[in-house]
Amino acid sequence: MMARPNGSPDAGSVEMDRAVGAVIGGAVGDALGAGYEFGPAPEPDAVTMRRGTLTGEPAGHWTDDTAMAIAILEVAAAQGTLTTERAATAVGERFLEWFRSGPSDIGNQTRAVLSRATSGADVAKCAAREQERDPERAGNGSLMRTGPVALAHLGDESSLASAARAMSALTHPSPYAQDACVLWTLAIDHAIGTGELVGPRVGLHLIETSRRSEWERWLDDAESLEPRHFNPNGYVVTALQAAWSAIHTTHARESRFESGLRRAVAIGDDTDTVAAIAGSLLGAACGASAIPAEWRDGLAGWPGQYRSADLAQLVERALGKSSGFTRQ
């Protein structure tokens, strides 16, 4: 791995392009999948931007997946970290602001947590109580928002893992949900730094030993079975498998970002979430410059009808707040 003593990526650099791609790629995947959510699974070549099936929003508008990712990105841009209690409280407050705006699409577990929380400091506590009521619950609602998590701690594996677990625990404290967020965040970090799509195996050493063999087996399945095997995909493990299978079966000779996202949507079921997950990793490896203009230019959504340029600016601010990184 390479060392960078000079701090965060410069604006306009290849690595900055990939960092922006991690966020905009997730938003594009979210908006692309929104038009097929819980409907008939399309063929990859037929996938196009269209009106949200559940949200009713125009083509190009993102859903809860990106709205919640933006809340995390804003705090990373403001505070330069996601590992402190102060940062978690700030993200929780922003989650509540979004929830109180009356979003048309929101996951059941997230709704249960945010409808009970009274403040940002209360969000994680409510999530823990929800988990106690149903210990087996492990939805995909935190994995969908991992795109920005790496940006405040690029190259710092320990801080990345802590941030991923803290951001997941705000609504999805299940060990498996937290594990999935660690694996995907480490994969994004590796892709931003190297341009390589190594995938979630890069973070396996950070998973508790008692669960590591399960994850190894699940990743084996993701790399050996057809993407549509992972339908339904509301469970966090299956959502990660679906996203990684779509990416893993996309050949390097293809337009990898576009082809990978089309495959992700074509799996069917929770299409916006699986495509948001896949898009964040594809964007981190391929860069924002690899995203088709017709998909990127029409992006919009909460808060206040943000556009892709707003997301790019937030990424630059988050990296500017970062203390830089050294890759071992």
The yes-or-no verdict on residue 324 having pLDDT over 50 is: no
pLDDT of residue 9: 67
Q: Residues 269-290: what's their mean pLDDT? A: 98
Each residue's pLDDT tens digit, 303-316: 988 999 999 999 99
Q: Residues 278-302: what's their mean pLDDT? A: 96
Q: Kindly report the backbone phi and psi dihedral angles of residue 283, in degrees, each rounded to the nearest multiple of 5, phi listed first.
A: -65, -35
Question: Which of the pair, 304 or 252, is modelled with greater confidence?
Answer: 304
The yes-or-no verdict on residue 2 having pLDDT over 60 is: no
Residue 1 belongs to some domain of the structure: no
Are 69 and 272 within 8 A, CB to CB? no
Residue 53 belongs to some domain of the structure: yes
The yes-or-no verdict on residue 4 having pLDDT over 50 is: no
Residue 175 belongs to some domain of the structure: yes
Q: Cα(88)–Cα(272) distance, rounded to whole angstroms?
A: 25
Distance of CA 131 to the CA centre of its chain: 21
The yes-or-no verdict on residue 182 having pLDDT over 90 is: yes
Q: Residues 180-200: what's their mean pLDDT? A: 97
The yes-or-no verdict on residue 326 having pLDDT over 80 is: no
**Diameter of the chain measured on Cα atoms:** 50
In the chain, what is the straight-line distance between the N-terminal and C-terminal CA atoms, in Å? 6
Sign of CA dihedral 267, 33, 140, 269: negative
Residue 149 belongs to some domain of the structure: yes
Q: Cα(140)–Cα(66) distance, rounded to whole angstroms?
A: 13
Q: Residues 165-180: what's their mean pLDDT? A: 98
Query: Which residue matches tokens 């924002």?
Result: 288
The yes-or-no verdict on residue 43 having pLDDT over 70 is: yes
Residue 2 belongs to some domain of the structure: no
SS3 292: coil
Residue 9 belongs to some domain of the structure: no
Residue 8 belongs to some domain of the structure: no
Long-range contacts: 257-263, Cβ < 8 Å, 24+?
A: 257/21, 257/25, 257/282, 257/283, 257/286, 257/290, 257/291, 257/292, 258/292, 258/295, 259/44, 261/28, 261/29, 261/32, 261/47, 262/44, 262/45, 262/47, 263/44, 263/227
Q: Residues 57-61: what's their mean pLDDT? A: 96
Q: Cα(175)–Cα(316) distance, rounded to whole angstroms?
A: 31
For the chain, how many structural domains are there in total?
1
Question: Which of the pair, 254 or 91, is modelled with greater confidence?
Answer: 91
Q: Residues 234-262: what's their mean pLDDT? A: 93
Q: Which residues of 4-39 are buried (b: 16+ CB within 10 A; e: fewer)?
A: beeebbeeeeebbbbbbbbbbbbbbbbbbbbbbbee
CATH number at residue 291: 1.10.4080.10
Q: Collect all residues with Cβ–Cβ distance below 8 Å to 258 and sequence separation of at least 6.
A: 292, 295
With pLDDT > 70 as the criterion, what percentage of the chain qualifies? 94
Residue 301 belongs to some domain of the structure: yes
pLDDT of residue 20: 98
pLDDT of residue 11: 61
- Note down the domain range covering 186: 14-321
